[in-house]
Every structure is written in structure tokens, then in C-alpha cells.
Amino acid sequence: MTNTPSPRSVAIVGGGPAGLMAAEALAGQGIAVDVYDAMASVGRKFLLAGKGGLNLTHSEPFEPFLSRFGTRAPQIEPLLRGLDGPAVREWAAGLGIETFVGTSGRVFPKDMKAAPLLRAWLHRLREAGVRFHMRSRWVGWDEEGALRFARPGGEVLTVKPDATVLALGGASWPQLGSNGAWVDLLRQRGVEDDGIAPLLPANCGFDRATPWSPLFAERFAGQPVKPVALSGPGFVKRRGEFVITATGIEGSLVYAASAAIRDEIAAHGSATIELDLLPDRDAAFVAAEVARPRGSRSLSTHLKSRLGIEGLKAGLLHEALSKDEYHDPQRLAAALKALPITLAAARPVAEAISTAGGVRFEALDERLMLKQLPGVFCAGEMLDWEAPTGGYLLTASLASGRAAGVGVREFLAS
């Protein structure tokens, strides 16, 4: 009688895009794959991201795409070589999801929804033998190195796989499962402090150094400022739109500059950005229109009729300029093209779209395995990288999950 050896086993902790892609890379390889997640179902943040239209990736060529990852581009490059934007579209097509390129270059499913893609993906993973364990919150290791999961009713599940992939996210949107608790668990297991960069808000809003006036905040909070261009220390001038909040600003244009703004605040205590309220007009035209004789008309009426400045944009001028500055034609014209707004703090990481910081690549080998914990791999947003919105975040998470899964296969084969 011949004994059939048991298949090698892998535990994937975290059922977001990175964890699911790691499972896909391992499924069908003669490996027992189990996915554990603290929530009642997987892909919670993935589904939330798809509420306004799931931005899968971006259609930019590889080099500009890679540049979006800043100082971590060298570490992200090999991951994207394994799964880049075009490959993500092919992967979605394999799930029966047709995609299209929007006017901004962003790539979306044709129906704009996340749920059909997630359903098709989970069906394929289950068909390939991947098993899912919900409401299983990872709480670390026991003394023998087994993974411990807290289950409903006080039960503790103990599992000792041949390899582990941690794909636990950062610390944004903790109500969806990623709360950063893994930082302490890794440190308790011996991962040194210099192996984990502090978790910081990324793609986040900011509070103004001087609060908005109550009237301005009440009237305009939640409203978009557009068209507008934003510039400041550490980033080039970019056109788009953002949103006024009760305490400051947020939105896509702010998110694109958030890393530079956050770092400037950390270094100097505040960051001053400049808003071009008339990005379609050059400075000479604006100055001439402001100085044009207005007769008996009020200055606000003059700005509205000559330059279209009214409502929210007019309110921003009054918030940022003194009465004397507002009535000085040269100062007013300059402010219309470069209105200074000083920001004092990023909003809390729990409110951010994504997280900067996490497990440093220097603590990992080329397979994304922790050097101090052989057999333990890391993927997704818990790695120390950040990128703007626009499909870059999701693509890199998927790519890192695939790389970790491939790394596990190589580890188990060695």
C-alpha cells in the first residue's frame, strides 16, 4: 500500500485583492490554499471602491505608470513586470468582464461595477479548490509558530501551514477590516522596528491652518472647486478639481499631491499650496480684466461679469485675502492665479483612501518573504509604498499578490 503525501498548505491572511491574487497564483498547483478574513465576506474595500465605478487600472504606458510610485518605483517595477495594466485588463477579460478606457485614461469595467467581477473571481477560485474561512481574525502566532485566529463565540482556531501570505491592508477604512493591528503582531514575532515604516494617511484630505469662517464652511462644505489648478512644494502644477470640507480640502486633485503635502507638513509644520482659479486664462489677461474700469458696479459684480468669479471661488478669495488685499487690483489679480492656502494637518489615517508606510522592502527578499520569518510573505497595501488614485493602487496590490504567490511556490519547491 502506497501512502500519498499530503499536499503542501498555504494560509493567506486577508481576503482583499492582494490576498485573492496570491490565492490565484497558488491555486491548481497541488497546494492546499486557505484564505482567512476577519469580515463576514471578502473584498469589502474592493466593493466600496467600486461604488462610484471600479477603477481597475490605468492605460498609461509602462514608464509613466511606474513613475507614479515615486521613490518605491525600483521595488514596484519587478512586481508590475509580472502584472501590469494591460495584463490586469486581460485578467478581467478572462473572468468575463469587458473593460474600457475612460477620457482620463482610467480603465473601468464596462458596467462600472465591482460586484460582478468579484463574484466571477471567487467562483473561479472556489472551482480551483481555494477554501475560504470568514470571521477569522488573525491574532498572531502561538509558541510553536502556528497561526491563531479568533472566531465567533470565543473560539480560537490554530493553523500551521507550510507557508503564509499576509495581505492585511494598511490602516485606512478600519471598519472594512484593515486596521494596522498586524504591526504589533509582526514586532512581537521579531520583525524589527526598522523593518516597518510608520503607517501614514495617503490619498487624503487636509485641514486648513486657519479654519474656514463659519459662514463659508456652512455654505460650501461638500462642494467641488472646478476648474482649478493646484501647485505647491514638491509637486508640479496640476489641473483638476477638489472639494471643500468643513475643516479644509479633499478630492482627486488634493489626493494627487497628498504625499508631497503630507511630507512638507511633517518637515515644516505646515504646507502652503497655491490655487489657480482661472487655469484657462493667462496672468496678463486676468490682470487687465481686474484693472478694467468698473464704473458704479461692485467689485464682486465686476469679477463675475468679466472673469466668471462667483460663488465658491469668490468665497475662497474672501477667505484668503484681507479686505485691503481684495481691493488692491494687483494683489487680487495675483491671487486669482495663485491663491495661497496654508494646510496644517492631514486628516486621520482611518479616513484616508489608502496608507503609506508598512513593511519595508528592505525587510523582504526578492520573493516578498520576510527575511526574519522564513515562509511568511507580505503583499498589498501593508507594504511600504504609495501611489495616487487612478488605478495604480489596485494594480500594484494585485501585482504584489501575484508576486507573493509565485514566491511561495518557489519557496515550497526549494
Q: In which residue are the cell numbers 468575463 written?
A: 96
Residue 68 has pLDDT above 90, yes or no: yes
Mean pLDDT for the chain?
A: 95
Percent of the chain whose pLDDT exceeds 90: 92
- Residue 52: per-residue pLDDT: 77
As a whole number, mean pLDDT of residues 120-126 equals 98
- Ordered by start, the domain boundaries in the chain are 8-201+357-413, 206-346
- Residue 310: per-residue pLDDT: 97
As a whole number, mean pLDDT of residues 130-159 equals 96
Q: pLDDT category, 90, cuts 50, 70, 90?
A: very high
- Residue 273: per-residue pLDDT: 98
Q: What is the pTM of this model?
A: 0.92
Residue 3 has pLDDT above 80, yes or no: no
As a whole number, mean pLDDT of residues 21-45 equals 95
- Residue 1: per-residue pLDDT: 42
pLDDT, one tens digit per residue, over 253-284 is 999 999 999 999 999 999 999 999 999 999 99
Residue 135 has pLDDT above 70, yes or no: yes
Q: Which residues pair with 137 in a beta bridge?
A: 150
As a whole number, mean pLDDT of residues 102-120 equals 95
- Residue 5: per-residue pLDDT: 58
Percent of the chain whose pLDDT exceeds 70: 99
As a whole number, mean pLDDT of residues 401-410 equals 98
Tell me the fold of 8-201+357-413.
FAD/NAD(P)-binding domain (3.50.50)
- Residue 48: per-residue pLDDT: 84
